[in-house]
């Protein structure tokens, strides 16, 4: 057995302690094809599949010959391969459903009725195809590896991208290997696919451990090595197979070891030692956790709300009228005629419905008083806003025969309309002291993020750009882009993750106790500040319940310099 190298991977002759291959893992997670099984494509298989599909269609009264179907199915397979290669570039790719595969790939050129027959039998067809197109042979060293893992108390799992997990399960059973595995995780069954780290995380959790205490074994760099690194596994190992040395694009992540067959891994697992148990703390040396609000020294990050903090706004009647006129003109060009006054009322009604929508979502957040149950608060998207909140007012002005077309127009124009709507809502003015704060943060190397509930993050970016502030902001987190809104802690949490900042030493500056303080606390932010003069009255700030009180209340943004940014 020999170690191999890759264009970007040069494993050392002996794994170093840093690789994690020296200690026996809790779990050994194996890919299916290329690790447990050697696969070989059967060139004649597509003719067989075409005959089978022809028979399935014939049972429903659709006469399409196998010779006509074979190139259609081969074309679908080529397109599906391209999709898989593109998906392995994504951070968190989802898996296609069986129905999507047979509707959009294999069956898309066929008549609609015939295609629907295939979609209705998609699961069974996919299982048949998977079992037919390739031969599967257990790879050398696999049975020895499984036996050694059992002997050493290492739990076993399968983690595989598969369009038919049921076929993979049947193959394991047919080769008397299924009882060795405590869990089998297939992409078509869990809805995500490698390199999504969730595949490995699910398997490790199901086996009662963590990725960090597991080894992951695959055969590709772009899917397996990347997935392993993203999941933070203890070690990533490759066993050579068809695609090991031909990834669809360059990959910088490396494996800890590469073997020609799983036999090499048997030797490594046999040589691995038991990790010593952690020593008990020395009496008197009890770790002390940092307390919220007790951050000392320079902040790890400064998170700023937009409305009420970066800028204060007043209604802009002129801008609203201009947007109404713009909407009426755009509608008229598409054949939907309304006056600009009517368009203005459509927008005003949508604005009222949106306020009710937000109030209803916040009324549903009953967990705010319970820090152990942070809320999940969705944000409305542009399409829903225009087709759900604005459409009723518009359709009331149009004849019934135009309703479907007008709704479709709103759907396809929603994102462009939302920018104009957001810019027309009010006239923003940058708060005094903001530039001083941003420049002080930049001088000290404290990264800044804008964390804002908004119907349109693009509009906020434009406002920052026009104020000449964009270069002073490192990260932008807007609710319409994230799909969640404060008090959801994902908002500040996303900013902290993007900045690589320690939450306990971060500062969050907002103007609303029930949104900003709640979100920051739930995200573990160490220090929370509220600014007077924003959306909340002084009474709302001063009389907030205990769990929503900030660490500091300021009247002027410039106070932040002395409060947070004068520390060495």
Give residue-wise pLDDT tens across range 278-325.
Answer: 444 444 433 333 343 434 478 999 999 999 999 999 989 999 999 999
Sheet of 552-554, strand order: 475-478, 448-452, 302-304, 507-510, 527-531, 552-554
Confidence (pTM): 0.70
Provide, rounded to the nearest whole percent, the portion of the chain with pLDDT above 70: 90
Q: Per-residue pLDDT tens for 155-210?
A: 999 999 999 999 999 999 999 999 999 889 999 999 999 999 999 999 999 888 99
Rounded distance, CA 526 to CA 290, Å? 9
**Minimal CA–CA distance to 231: which of 196, 266, 185?**
196
Conformation bin of residue 282: beta by default, left when phi > 0, alpha when psi is -120 to 50: beta
Rounded distance, CA 145 to CA 262, Å? 8
324-340 mean pLDDT: 92
Rounded distance, CA 52 to CA 105, Å? 17
pLDDT at residue 428 tops 50: yes
pLDDT of 293 reads: 40
pLDDT at residue 5 tops 70: no
Of 11 and 540, more confident: 540
Start-to-end Cα distance in the chain: 57
**Minimal CA–CA distance to 503: which of 511, 513, 492, 514?**
492
- Tell me which H or E stretch contains 155: strand 155-160
């Amino acid at each position: 057995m020999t170690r191999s190298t890759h264009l970007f991977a040069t494993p050392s002759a002996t794994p170093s302690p840093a690789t994690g291959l020296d200690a026996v893992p809790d779990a050994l997670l194996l890919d299916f094809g290329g690790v447990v099984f050697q696969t070989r494509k059967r060139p004649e298989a597509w003719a067989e599949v075409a005959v089978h599909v022809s028979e399935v269609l014939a049972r429903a009264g659709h006469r399409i010959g196998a010779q006509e179907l074979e190139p259609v199915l081969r074309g679908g397979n080529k397109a599906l391969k391209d999709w898989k290669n593109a998906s392995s570039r994504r951070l968190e790719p989802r898996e296609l459903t069986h129905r999507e595969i047979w509707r959009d790939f294999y069956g898309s050129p066929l008549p609609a009725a015939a295609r629907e027959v295939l979609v209705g039998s998609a699961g069974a067809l996919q299982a048949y195809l998977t079992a037919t197109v390739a031969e599967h042979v257990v790879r050398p060293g696999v049975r020895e590896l499984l036996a050694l893992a059992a002997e050493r108390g290492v739990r076993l799992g399968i983690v595989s991208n598969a369009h038919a997990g049921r076929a993979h399960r049947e193959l394991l059973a047919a080769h008397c290997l299924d009882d060795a595995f405590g869990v089998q995780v297939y992409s078509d069954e869990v809805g995500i696919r490698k390199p999504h780290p969730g595949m490995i995380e699910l398997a490790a959790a199901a086996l009662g451990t963590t990725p960090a205490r597991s080894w992951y074994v695959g055969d590709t760099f772009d899917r397996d090595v990347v997935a392993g690194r993203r999941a933070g596994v203890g070690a990533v190992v490759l066993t050579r197979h068809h695609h090991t040395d031909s990834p669809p694009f360059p990959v910088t992540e490396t494996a800890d070891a590469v073997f020609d067959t799983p036999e090499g891994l048997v030797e490594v697992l046999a040589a691995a030692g038991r990790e010593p148990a952690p020593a008990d703390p020395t009496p008197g040396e009890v770790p002390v956790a940092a307390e919220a609000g007790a951050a000392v020294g320079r902040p790890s990050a400064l998170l700023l709300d937009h409305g009420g903090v970066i800028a204060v706004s007043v209604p802009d009647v002129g801008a609203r009228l201009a947007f109404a006129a713009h909407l009426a003109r755009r509608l008229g060009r598409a054949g939907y005629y309304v006056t600009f006054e009517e368009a203005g009322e459509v927008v005003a009604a949508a604005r009222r419905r949106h306020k009710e929508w937000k109030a209803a979502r916040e009324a549903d957040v009953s967990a705010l008083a319970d820090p152990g149950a942070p809320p999940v608060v969705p944000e409305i998207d542009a399409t829903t806003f225009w087709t759900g909140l604005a459409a009723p007012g518009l359709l009331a002005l149009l004849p019934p025969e135009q309703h479907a077309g007008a709704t479709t127009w709103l759907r396809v124009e929603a994102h462009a309309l939302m920018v104009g709507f957001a810019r027309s809502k009010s006239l923003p003015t940058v708060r005094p002291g903001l530039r001083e704060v941003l420049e002080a943060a930049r001088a000290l190397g404290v990264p800044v993020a804008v964390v804002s509930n908004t119907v349109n993050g693009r509009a906020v970016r434009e406002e920052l750009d026009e104020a000449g502030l964009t270069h002073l902001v490192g990260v932008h987190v807007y609710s319409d882009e994230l799909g969640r809104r404060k008090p959801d802690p994902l908002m500040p949490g996303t900013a902290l993750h993007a900045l690589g900042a320690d939450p306990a030493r971060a500062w969050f500056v907002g103007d609303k106790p029930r949104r900003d303080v709640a979100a920051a606390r739930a995200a573990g932010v160490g220090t929370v500040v509220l600014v007077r003069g924003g959306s909340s009255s002084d009474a709302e700030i001063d009389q907030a319940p205990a769990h929503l009180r900030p660490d500091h209340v300021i009247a002027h943004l410039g106070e932040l310099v002395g409060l947070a940014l004068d520390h060495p």
